[in-house]
Chains A and B, each alone.
Chain A
């Protein structure tokens, strides 16, 4: 196995990861289409691997204001934290498209939280399961947790929970439900070792 000190900026790996995420997210979109009884299209147009040290500057650029965050720890051969993040406006659009409710996300009800848990679980599990299939090792998942908070505050709290992981795969995703465009972010926090393992497996799969 090749051990790298840093894995980022390789367009080949980005393309492969994008493909992997698009496969996973395609499954989630199909499942979601059945649930909402309307076509759902989700795409991952942008993917990158960033150092967690640079996470706060990325978040400041991409996610401002209050948002909805769905976290889900996972374990198995690779261990980490997955996070699905939506900005305030996109969270409102998501709830509006899925549940036909138009409201401020600061006051989510139990039903709305559980709906977001189901959607978050679908997206996160689909993406990570595809990675699990690729590295031929199953991944086990814990319960997802929904929270609403200011992005800066959320990520500063998250920092303690992800201190064992040095890097993060960030997949920007665009969902289209009932003529609404919803942009979200999937963050997968992993250690150097695990991210190396994924990349090496991707290289092996593609005979690189």
Chain B
């Protein structure tokens, strides 16, 4: 390299490094400072005139005391770059922080390169970047995150407790209804109380699933259906050998706003099938299927009984609360397209848009 090239390169290096918001130090092969930019001058308080020609390790003996001198040797002898992250090293040159409320010293990201620049004596180039603000910000964010997580956990515990208490209160209501059923002298009253009891039980199962659920915003609907069907079959004394209940498909986690109407609809349909589809010990099958198609869910309930008579399905005239409930819940709460068919047994289908549960 000729002298002119050398001068131009050296000037270019100085211009670039003076404008940088980074400390730049150039050492010769003996570790003596050859270049000391304005940034490092301002932050260390060591002026260029005093720094140039001095050994860096003598000027800042703490580098050796803190066991970091070998990094400079590694760069010089092995001709490899070294990177020092603030997580492991905090800093290379201790620089007091003006705002001591945050941290007592500057956190530095240090890059040390072997160089072969214009002069043969130059060997090590050190870049020091101040990342104190980023560290302080990260620490604040971590603390805030921990605080928010703790608050969220506390709220989850409280919400779980609420669901638990609702479930217990519903169980008390069930006990009261049972007492009324025992005291009732009319079969019609008993029948209506039975229906109410099972509806309340169904809601109670849902709250039980909710407080057991991890997210509190969605429930394992499969588990709910399993509990409800077991309860209804036992309540109506239907042995599994007589009526088989099959639950098919991958049941998604349902958001609470959809799980409740779905649970009540399933309760009504199951009750209806168990009570009317298989009279006099007739054997049969009940199927419930879920199918997820994109963002929609297909719900299909089917029994192979004689099918609900047409006059009962004529909802304008029907006085059965169960069928009304199914229609109301499906259309008003799930905004579903739904309908019954009774060609071969009773079939109820509904399709609704799946709601995304809040985490």
Q: Do A121 and B134 have beta carbons less than 8 Å apart?
A: no
Closest to B111 in A: A143
Selected interface stretch from A112-120, A162-170, A194-202: A112-120
Contact with B along A160-202 (1 / 0, CB 8 A): 0000000000000000000000000000000000000000000
| Neighbour of A111 across the interface among B78, B81, B138, CB < 8 A | B138
Closest to A142 in B: B81
Tell me, yes or no, whether B235 is within 8 Å of chain A by CB. no
Tell me, yes or no, whether A106 is within 8 Å of chain B by CB. no
Q: Do B85 and A114 have beta carbons less than 8 Å apart?
A: yes
Closest to A128 in B: B80
With A140-B114, A143-B111 already in contact, the answer to whether A111 and B80 are too (CB < 8 A) is: no
- Interface size of A by CB at 8 A reads 20
With A35-B88, A143-B111 already in contact, the answer to whether A118 and B83 are too (CB < 8 A) is: yes
- Interface size classification for chain B: 10 to 19
Q: Do B79 and A114 have beta carbons less than 8 Å apart?
A: no
Tell me, yes or no, whether A69 is within 8 Å of chain B by CB. no
Closest to B109 in A: A114
List A contacts of B111 (CB < 8 A). Answer: 143
Whole-angstrom CA separation of A143 from B85 in the bound complex: 13
With A110-B134, A111-B135, A143-B111 already in contact, the answer to whether A138 and B87 are too (CB < 8 A) is: no
Q: Do A138 and B79 have beta carbons less than 8 Å apart?
A: yes
List A contacts of B83 (CB < 8 A). Answer: 114, 117-118, 121, 144
Contact with B along A133-147 (1 / 0, CB 8 A): 000001011111000
Whole-angstrom CA separation of A121 from B85 in the bound complex: 11
Closest to A35 in B: B88
Tell me, yes or no, whether A109 is within 8 Å of chain B by CB. yes
Tell me, yes or no, whether A125 is within 8 Å of chain B by CB. yes
List B contacts of A115 (CB < 8 A). Answer: 85, 87-88
Closest to B80 in A: A125
Whole-angstrom CA separation of A121 from B134 in the bound complex: 22
Chain A contact residues: helix, strand, loop or mixed? helix
Contact with A along B264-282 (1 / 0, CB 8 A): 0000000000000000000
Closest to B107 in A: A111
Q: Do A125 and B134 have beta carbons less than 8 Å apart?
A: no
Whole-angstrom CA separation of A142 from B81 in the bound complex: 8
Q: Do A111 and B79 have beta carbons less than 8 Å apart?
A: no
Tell me, yes or no, whether B345 is within 8 Å of chain A by CB. no
User: Could you tell me the distance in whole angstroms from the C-beta of B182 to the nearest C-beta in chain A?
Assistant: 56
Tell me, yes or no, whether B173 is within 8 Å of chain A by CB. no
Whole-angstrom CA separation of A118 from B79 in the bound complex: 16
Contact with A along B122-150 (1 / 0, CB 8 A): 00000000010011001000000000000
Whole-angstrom CA separation of A110 from B111 in the bound complex: 15
User: Could you tell me the distance in whole angstroms from the C-beta of A14 to the nearest C-beta in chain B?
Assistant: 26
Within 8 A of B (CB), among A89-139: 99, 109-112, 114-115, 117-118, 121, 125, 129, 138
Tell me, yes or no, whether B86 is within 8 Å of chain A by CB. yes
List A contacts of B82 (CB < 8 A). Answer: 121
Within 8 A of A (CB), among B202-225: none
Tell me, yes or no, whether B84 is within 8 Å of chain A by CB. yes
List A contacts of B87 (CB < 8 A). Answer: 99, 111-112, 114-115
Residues of B within 8 A of A (CB): 78-88, 109, 111, 114, 131, 134-135, 138
Query: Told that A112-B87, A141-B81 touch, could you supply 15 new A-B pairs with CB distance under 8 A?
Result: A36-B88, A99-B87, A110-B109, A110-B131, A110-B134, A110-B135, A110-B138, A114-B87, A115-B87, A115-B88, A117-B85, A118-B83, A121-B81, A129-B78, A143-B81
Residues of A within 8 A of B (CB): 35-36, 99, 109-112, 114-115, 117-118, 121, 125, 129, 138, 140-144
Q: Which are the 6 A-B pairs with shortest beta-carbon distances?
A: A114-B85, A110-B134, A118-B85, A115-B85, A115-B87, A118-B83
A-B contact pairs, 25 of them (CB 8 A): A36-B88, A109-B134, A109-B138, A110-B131, A110-B134, A111-B86, A111-B87, A111-B131, A111-B138, A114-B83, A114-B85, A114-B86, A114-B87, A114-B109, A114-B131, A115-B87, A117-B85, A118-B84, A121-B81, A125-B80, A125-B81, A129-B80, A138-B79, A140-B79, A141-B80
